[in-house]
Structures are given as structure tokens and as C-alpha cells.
Amino acid sequence: MRHVHLMDPQLSGLGGHYHNHDAQLLTELQRRGISASLYGKKKSQVTDCAGVPITPAFTLDIFQEAATDATTWPMENFHAINDAFFAELAAIAPARFSSDDFVYFPNILQNQVHAVSRWLAQLPAANRPAVALMFRYLNHAMDYIQQRQNKDMITLYYRFAVRQLIASHPRTLICADTTELANAYRQMTGAPVTELPNPMDVSALLAAPAAKEPAGRPVIVYQGHTSPLRGFHFLPDIVERCVSLNPRPLFVVQVQNRAAAASTGLTPTLQRLDRMNRGIVELVEGSLSSADYLALMARADIVLLPYTPTFYGAGSSGVFTEAASLGKVVVACEGTVPARQGKEYQLGVVSADKWTPQSMAAAVSQALKTLPALRAQAEAGAPRFREENCARAFWERLLAAAATLPAPVIAG
């Protein structure tokens, strides 16, 4: 393998887990002595990742929409967004690539897959790399999609685009980062799917553990994206139901992006949190650097993940991966990947039986009652979880799968 290209249309800054995820993959490639390039958003707030310059390449978010009609929207999006993504891929100089290279797309949907197929087809055979595409989302299962007409067309477009890609370019791997997603995409596309871990690097915190909060006041941390899919709108009710607990917990809540929160109807939630006593709720504003993000998690006695099973019943959670890797106690909801992985790895996870603020608050109360035992369980399970969900394990599996692909065919 001559070179690895990471193409991440979601990489635009430090927010979310995109930068952290890409940095880990690059660092592990460097450890293995494999050269790599990284391509991100054209208007990225960061210019490098793990010492690798970010090549500005992409304009649109993978969830971007171009539709104007409530009936034909899946068709409009598929054609318009694939066309735009193809144009941006085609603008990258073909000479950058070789048939001995490997291109990995860590975030991609049906509205970009067909563009990849078209891009590869127009490259000279000597410049046509092997590719791997990571499907992280069952986007057709999202609540806002479920409310639309013709939503089932999304699954047909996945099947069409994936099968077209593999037929025209057999040196293709389709990947997913949970068992649930891998099974769903095998059924949806009829194609083999390679299951990979969702690595999140917590080594800096393991090397230099943070100071503990004063004893007696448990700290419950909610961090990451400010999203209804992550139960952000439940937080005021959860806090109010836990105020009378003894000892009374301190909730520390990251508000990553107020504008994005407002666009998803979360302004009333933010207003309620803003009015709460700072001795009960501490708000952490904005995107955080990797160091500050991990420092926030280090404060947690409990990491709160009130995530909806509708989405996280299949999707992975970077916050959970980090919390589990650090041996943190987690409160999640039954029917989610964190709840399943908590059982699989025998971690300190308490699962609410329903996705409601009442059930989530009850799970917090239960976790606080047995916190020492849960902490011991979480810390005991963390080493195995870290070992199986790290960048080393990721590349071992992906490179082993890549080694099974057909050799490049270059005429003449």
C-alpha cells in the first residue's frame, strides 16, 4: 500500500468527534509507517489534524438537502447532492492517486455513494485506488425522515448506489461501526459489510488522570452535540427530578452550538437550563478542544446519554466509546447500542427502560445508589473495551479486509 487518503466531508472543526476520530486514524497510520493525506471541508476551522495538513475539498454536509418538492425529494437529493460531490472529487488532481493507494470515506450516505462510483470510473486505471466507505447512520430511520412521503426510497438508493459501485469497482469495501448497522446494511444492499470499531482516543487522560471533584457531590456530565436525537430536550426535566436526591448531583452540560440547537427546536430547553441555579446545573459553552473535552469527561462520576433508541438503536456513540474506555459509569436507554455494549463488555451501564425524562431520571437515581459498585465494574471492563475499540484494532481489521480485494487491473 503506497498511501492512504482519508476523505471526510464532515471535518470542519473541533466540534463533534470527526477531528478526534480522524486524528487517531492518522496517528496509527504514522505508527505503522504508512503515509496519509486528509481531505476536509473547504471552510474548515482547523488546518491540520495529527500534524497532517487538511486539503480543502468539500462544501456540503452529508445531510445536506437540495429538494424543493415534498413528493420527489429523495430523487432530487440523490441526483443533486451526488452531482455536487462528484464535482468536488473530480476537482482533486488524479495524479494524487495510484492503483496502490487506499481511500477511506469515514462519513458517507446514499447521496454521496454514486458520486464515488462515477469518480472512480473517470480516473485512469493507474490512478484508481481501492476504496472503503463507512456507513454510520440509518438516516432513513431518523424521526424527521419518517414523517415524509416516499421515505423508503432512501433504502432503494442505498441498494442501487452500493451495487453499482461494487459492480464497476470490485476493489470496494462497505463498512459499518456497529453490529446493528452492519446487519442492516447487509440486508439493505445485499452486499458484504465489514464491521469495524468506532475508535476514540483517551490515552492522554489515561496517562495523566485528572484531579477528582471534592468527595460527596456526584457530577453528572452531558457532552457532545446539542441534539434532540441525544435527548437534550429531556435535560431540564431530568435535572428537576434529581434535585431532591441525597447527595444532590451537579449536572454539567455542554452546549456545543446554540444556533444549531435553536434550529432543531431546542430554544425552550436552553431557556429552562439558563434559568436553573448554577449550583445545580453548570453550562459549558461551545466546541471544545480535545484536551478540554476530555477534561470535562474526567469530571464525570456518571456520563449521561439520554439517546433515542430510534437512532442509537443502531448508531454508534463516540461519547460512549470515550466514557467506556475511561471506565466511567454511564446512564443510557434500553434498546440503544450503548446499552447493548454495556452488557456485552460488562461495563457500569444503567439503562432506563423507556426513552422518557422520567425513566432517565429514575436510571440516574439508581446509578447514584450503587455508584461505587458500578464504578468498579466500569473500571474492570475498560481495558478490554479499549483494546477492541482503538485505532490499532480499526486498521488491523480494515487492512486485513483490504488485503482480500482483487488486485488492480491496468491494461497495457
Query: Is residue 407 situated within a structural domain?
Result: no
Residues 208 and 195 both lie in one domain:
no
Looking at residue 15, its pLDDT comes to 62
d(CA 129, CA 103) in angstroms, rounded, equals 7
Query: Is residue 171 situated within a structural domain?
Result: yes
Identify the CA nearest to 235 among candidates 216, 248, 222, 217. 222
Query: Is residue 410 situated within a structural domain?
Result: no
Query: Is residue 44 situated within a structural domain?
Result: yes
Query: Is residue 412 situated within a structural domain?
Result: no
Looking at residue 290, its pLDDT comes to 81
pLDDT, tens digit (0-9, with 9 covering 90-100), for 247-263: 999 999 999 989 989 99
Looking at residue 172, its pLDDT comes to 99
Residues 177 and 228 both lie in one domain:
no
Number of structural domains found in the chain = 2
Looking at residue 111, its pLDDT comes to 97
Residues 184 and 220 both lie in one domain:
no
Residues 215 and 350 both lie in one domain:
yes
pLDDT, tens digit (0-9, with 9 covering 90-100), for 148-166: 999 999 999 999 999 999 9
Residues 213 and 273 both lie in one domain:
yes
Query: Is residue 173 situated within a structural domain?
Result: yes
pTM: 0.91
Q: CATH code at 12? A: 3.40.50.2000
Residues 180 and 238 both lie in one domain:
no
Residues 127 and 194 both lie in one domain:
yes
The stretches in the chain having pLDDT less than 50 are none
Residues 236 and 178 both lie in one domain:
no
Residues 116 and 193 both lie in one domain:
yes
Range of the domain at 338: 203-388
Pairing label, strands 48-49, 194-195:
unpaired
Query: Is residue 409 situated within a structural domain?
Result: no
Query: Is residue 174 situated within a structural domain?
Result: yes
Looking at residue 213, its pLDDT comes to 56
Residues 195 and 207 both lie in one domain:
no
3-state secondary structure the chain: CCCEEEECCCCCCCCCCHHHHHHHHHHHHHHCCCCEEEEEECCCCCCEECCEEEEEEECCCCCCCCCCCCCCHHHHHHHHHHHHHHHHHHCCCHHHCCCCCEEEECCCCHHHHHHHHHHHHHCCHHHCCEEEEEECCCHHHCHHHHCCCCCCHHHHHHHHHHHHHHHHCCCEEEEECCHHHHHHHHHHHCCCCEECCCCCCCHHHHHCCCCCCCCCCCEEEECCCCCHHHCHHHHHHHHHHHCCCCCCCEEEEEECCHHHHHHCCCHHHHHHHHHCCCCCEEEEECCCCHHHHHHHHHCCCEEECCCCHHHHCCCCCHHHHHHHHCCCEEEEECCCHHHHHHHHCCCCEEEECCCCHHHHHHHHHHHHHCHHHHHHHHHHHHHHHHHHCCHHHHHHHHHHHHCCCCCCCCCC
Residues 31 and 173 both lie in one domain:
yes
Residues 171 and 157 both lie in one domain:
yes
